[in-house]
Chains A and B, each alone.
Chain A
Amino acid sequence: MSEKDLPIVQVSALRKSFGDIAVLKGVGFEMEQGDLVSIIGPSGCGKSTLLRCLNALEVMDSGSIRIAGVTLERSEGETRLDPRFHDLAHELRQRVGMVFQQFNLFPNKTILENVILAPLVVNKEPREVAEENALRQLEKVGLGGFAKRYPAQLSGGQQQRAAIARSLAMNPKVMLYDEPTSALDPMLVDEVLAVMKALDAEGMTQIVVTHEIRFARDASDYIIYMEQGEIVELSDQDEIFTNPKDERTRRFLHRFS
């Protein structure tokens, strides 16, 4: 089997504890190129930690993660971190974009400067090339006219779209979203979701941790339902809503219907 035919995301037996509290208890799933997967579940179920482990903002305790050809692995009982882990994590992050609940735009830089910073610093792109690409990305998320503004001059929805453009400028193979609309005014949620749907249509592989059940239902190829550090159910978006296999999923979703 060639590299191309392998699933773009492969996670298996992923474990992570904070002190005595086991947050992820052996999680595993796979994704094909172009999939949009939503991860839902009650607060504290480990969904954000899972996402942060995927690009090594949190270091897993054990398990394996393989994304776009880069493999991070730790065997059980391994106490010292392999020095190569950080190099691999760094390489992995070049191929994975991440969008945060609080946007985390750089407040002292304009939107354009926010978008071109990583291409300049990490990829050493010439400024003209970086700016041209940045303007294209901003156009794509509908912020063509906002390049010279500062983050504080934009609405929450605009800021989150700028954050998406900033990630896209690094040409990621996979996009991760950590509750991208939770900090937003309900009026502004749709404009962000629309951008994500547009990216889905372009064939971007995306993983979204979200509380937007409606979005998960409409846009996802499939949905992961997590509870207490485990994947309880992983299924087709229609099936999970119409015919959840697990009692816990049924109870959780009941509140949204």
Chain B
Amino acid sequence: MKLRSLATLLVTLFGFSQAFCATKSSDKTDGKGAASELRWAAAVDSNAPFAFYDKNNRLTGFEFEIIEGISRRMGREPKFIQNSWDGLTPGLGRGLYDCVICGIEVTAEKGQEVLFSNPYYITFEQLVVAKGTPPVTSLAELSGRKVGTLEQTAALKMLQDTSNVVVKSYAEEMNAYHDVANGRIYGALLDFPIAKYYAGPDAALEFTGPPFGKITYGIAVSRSRPELVQQINAALGEMVRSGELRDILSRWGLWTPTMAKALNQSAEPSLPDTEFKAFAAQFNEAGGIVAKLQRYFVYWPVILDGCILTLEISILSMAIAIAVGFLLALMRVYGPFPLRLISILYIEIVRGTPLLVQLLILFYGLPYIGIKLEPFIAGMLGLGMNYAAYEAENYRAGLLAIPKGQMEAARALGMTHRQGLRCVVVPQAFRLVLPPVTNDFISLLKDSSLVSAVTLIDLTGAYTRIATQTFDYFGTGLLIAAIYLLIGLPFVRLAGWLEKRLSSDHRTPKQKPSFWIGLGA
């Protein structure tokens, strides 16, 4: 939790610094074929009804339809880019995409960071409590109660401004509503669309109280691109006039009197709320094992992609970690003083700061000094450079564990120091450090889940997506954990086999080492 808020702080910090270099980065964006594409970003995990993946793993949602409509009218091809909620606005400054449409509330504070289009939806905060709770008519009545909401929302601020309310902020709306149903918190105050979709279909919960506050959602654009805001506004205006916006909101069951009044249109929905009905039906789907397994099967491409990304990034960053770590260890053990100092500083600094912070600096911080890395490169470098520090210490221990007499013997035989290292000391140290290196690889395989901070969707990312779409944290969790275990195992076996093969203790007659040694025993 602490780490997360630290990350948020950093991202916000970089968000502000982006304001200074935004001009530079967006120039590049414009040159990169932006005329044909409209690249839009959202955090689509657990994001119904805004933009989310449906049970057939297709992107949908009312924001999705709105941005499609806007793109069409602008004559541009919409291209979706996933990012974490924390990274959405910093990503604009980085020029990762043209705009963000993700239920972002238009506030003066936010307006310092980005430009907003005209509002595309106006709504309010809805209080949800457990069924049978006495009605609540004002926030003041919540005094002394625990109330949940999402991080970085208007509702959070409203609750904090109400005296004596114990505010619990969640990363996922589902978790807040689960806690209401479980009685861990008294109620949850969230944007109306979220309440309608995540609490509405749940028989254990009910809505209470009047609409609280007024929230307007706008499309966020980099401060350096006012012309894009104008184009978006023009397209949005056409959608309002033609009735397309009302159609979309009606089908999603979001055409409210508030909206009708704001747009000066009829309060009656223009179409039946088919999309909401479909979602609600899926929400209450029977959760038998067979049904669950069938659902997992639908998601296998997501899981497979996540697996591949996790493996790719883990193996590549381990390769970096081993190479850089080895170099650092040699510098520290055998290098002259300046190299030794560099090595020690690197190890202490990198080992002493959180990996997540390093990743965020690489991805969101470096553009500030003109270095832009692709998400995959940033993730791979971040993990690799971080683990290099640990590897260096492993190798140092390994090198120091080889008796001095080995190098002396090599030199006495006429080898240079370098030849002695290469042919005598390093091969022996290699075997010694295999177990800790294997250990680190397994650890890295799991730490690779942090790359979701730089917009990549790995196996853990797949977990979040599936769990929030199926509302099944438990089953999906077990499944993903099992997959992590499975993809780690072959490497453990490989290392065990290598270790056996390279064993320098040959007291007993040699048996041909088998890859499977130790599995049966």
Which residues on the A side are within 8 Å of B411 (C-beta)?
57, 93
Tell whether, in the assembled complex, residue B416 and residue A166 are in contact, meaning their CB atoms are under 8 Å apart. no
B contact face: mostly helix, strand, loop, or mixed: helix
Tell whether, in the assembled complex, residue B419 and residue A106 are in contact, meaning their CB atoms are under 8 Å apart. no
**Is B311's beta carbon under 8 Å from chain A?**
no
Which residues on the B side are within 8 Å of A166 (C-beta)?
413
Which residues on the A side are within 8 Å of B502 (C-beta)?
108
Tell whether, in the assembled complex, residue A170 and residue B506 are in contact, meaning their CB atoms are under 8 Å apart. no
Beyond known contacts A55-B412, A93-B413, A118-B413: 8 more, CB 8 A cutoff: A100-B408, A104-B408, A108-B427, A122-B414, A122-B415, A152-B506, A152-B507, A163-B409
Q: Separation in Å of the A80 CB from the closest CB of chain B?
A: 15
From B414, B419, B431, B507, give the contact of A170 (CB < 8 A): B414
Tell whether, in the assembled complex, residue B412 and residue A97 are in contact, meaning their CB atoms are under 8 Å apart. yes
Which residues on the B side are within 8 Å of A153 (C-beta)?
506-507
Q: How far is the CA of A94 from the CA of B414 in the complex (A)?
A: 5
**Is A231's beta carbon under 8 Å from chain B?**
no
Knowing A90-B416, A121-B419, A152-B505, the reply to whether A106 touches B408 (Cβ < 8 A) is no
Tell whether, in the assembled complex, residue A104 and residue B423 are in contact, meaning their CB atoms are under 8 Å apart. no
Tell whether, in the assembled complex, residue B504 and residue A102 are in contact, meaning their CB atoms are under 8 Å apart. no
Knowing A90-B414, A94-B414, A97-B412, the reply to whether A122 touches B427 (Cβ < 8 A) is no
In B462-521, which residues have CB < 8 Å from any A CB? 502, 504-507
Tell whether, in the assembled complex, residue A106 and residue B412 are in contact, meaning their CB atoms are under 8 Å apart. no
Tell whether, in the assembled complex, residue B412 and residue A57 are in contact, meaning their CB atoms are under 8 Å apart. yes
Tell whether, in the assembled complex, residue B428 and residue A170 are in contact, meaning their CB atoms are under 8 Å apart. no
Tell whether, in the assembled complex, residue B506 and residue A104 are in contact, meaning their CB atoms are under 8 Å apart. no
Cβ proximity bits A6-29 to B, threshold 8 Å, 1 near / 0 not: 000000000000000000000000
28 residue pairs bridging A and B, Cβ less than 8 Å apart: A55-B412, A57-B411, A57-B412, A90-B414, A90-B416, A93-B411, A94-B414, A97-B413, A100-B405, A100-B408, A104-B408, A104-B409, A106-B424, A106-B428, A107-B505, A108-B504, A117-B423, A118-B413, A121-B415, A121-B419, A121-B423, A122-B414, A122-B419, A150-B506, A152-B506, A152-B507, A153-B506, A167-B413
Q: How far is the CA of A154 from the CA of B507 in the complex (A)?
A: 9
In A140-170, which residues have CB < 8 Å from any B CB? 149-150, 152-153, 163, 166-167, 170
**Is A98's beta carbon under 8 Å from chain B?**
yes
Q: Separation in Å of the A105 CB from the closest CB of chain B?
A: 8
Q: How far is the CA of A107 from the CA of B424 in the complex (A)?
A: 10
In A74-128, which residues have CB < 8 Å from any B CB? 90, 93-94, 96-98, 100, 102, 104-108, 117-118, 121-122
Q: Separation in Å of the A41 CB from the closest CB of chain B?
A: 22
Which residues on the A side are within 8 Å of B5 (C-beta)?
none
**Is B36's beta carbon under 8 Å from chain A?**
no
Interface hub of A94, A97, A118 (most chain B Cβ within 10 A): A118
Tell whether, in the assembled complex, residue B414 and residue A104 are in contact, meaning their CB atoms are under 8 Å apart. no
From A102, A117, A150, A152, give the contact of B413 (CB < 8 A): A117
**What 6 A-B pairs are tightest by C-beta distance, nearest first?**
A150-B506, A104-B409, A118-B413, A98-B412, A104-B405, A108-B504
Which residues on the A side are within 8 Å of B505 (C-beta)?
107, 152
Which residues on the B side are within 8 Å of A97 (C-beta)?
412-413
- Interface residues of A, Cβ cutoff 8 Å to B: 55, 57, 90, 93-94, 96-98, 100, 102, 104-108, 117-118, 121-122, 149-150, 152-153, 163, 166-167, 170
Q: How far is the CA of A44 from the CA of B405 in the complex (A)?
A: 19
**Is B133's beta carbon under 8 Å from chain A?**
no
Nearest A residue to B422 via CB reads A121
Q: How far is the CA of A121 from the CA of B423 in the complex (A)?
A: 8
Which residues on the B side are within 8 Å of A170 (C-beta)?
413-414
In B406-440, which residues have CB < 8 Å from any A CB? 406, 408-416, 419, 423-424, 427-428, 431
Interface hub of B406, B412, B507 (most chain A Cβ within 10 A): B412
Which residues on the A side are within 8 Å of B428 (C-beta)?
106-108
In B236-280, which residues have CB < 8 Å from any A CB? none
Q: How far is the CA of A107 from the CA of B427 in the complex (A)?
A: 11
Nearest B residue to A169 via CB reads B413
Q: How far is the CA of A90 from the CA of B419 in the complex (A)?
A: 12
Which residues on the B side are within 8 Å of A107 (C-beta)?
428, 504-505
Knowing A100-B409, A106-B406, the reply to whether A118 touches B506 (Cβ < 8 A) is no
Q: How far is the CA of A107 from the CA of B412 in the complex (A)?
A: 17
Which residues on the A side are within 8 Å of B416 (C-beta)?
90
Which residues on the A side are within 8 Å of B427 (C-beta)?
108
Which residues on the A side are within 8 Å of B507 (C-beta)?
152-153
Q: How far is the CA of A94 from the CA of B423 in the complex (A)?
A: 17
Q: Separation in Å of the B244 CB from the closest CB of chain A?
A: 74
Q: Separation in Å of the B337 CB from the closest CB of chain A?
A: 16
Interface hub of A121, A167, A170 (most chain B Cβ within 10 A): A121
Q: How far is the CA of A146 from the CA of B410 in the complex (A)?
A: 21
Which residues on the B side are within 8 Å of A96 (C-beta)?
412
Which residues on the B side are within 8 Å of A108 (C-beta)?
427-428, 431, 502, 504
Which residues on the B side are within 8 Å of A149 (C-beta)?
506
Q: How far is the CA of A214 from the CA of B17 in the complex (A)?
A: 83
From B405, B412, B423, B506, give the contact of A102 (CB < 8 A): B405
From B408, B414, B431, B504, give the contact of A57 (CB < 8 A): B408
Q: How far is the CA of A97 from the CA of B424 in the complex (A)?
A: 17
Q: How far is the CA of A18 from the CA of B448 in the complex (A)?
A: 51
Which residues on the B side are within 8 Å of A102 (C-beta)?
403, 405
Knowing A107-B428, A108-B428, the reply to whether A122 touches B413 (Cβ < 8 A) is yes
Which residues on the B side are within 8 Å of A167 (C-beta)?
412-413
Which residues on the B side are within 8 Å of A93 (C-beta)?
411-414
Nearest B residue to A150 via CB reads B506
Q: Separation in Å of the A83 CB from the closest CB of chain B?
A: 14
Q: How far is the CA of A104 from the CA of B424 in the complex (A)?
A: 11
Q: Separation in Å of the A194 CB from the closest CB of chain B?
A: 23
Q: How far is the CA of A149 from the CA of B431 in the complex (A)?
A: 19
Which residues on the B side are within 8 Å of A98 (C-beta)?
409, 412
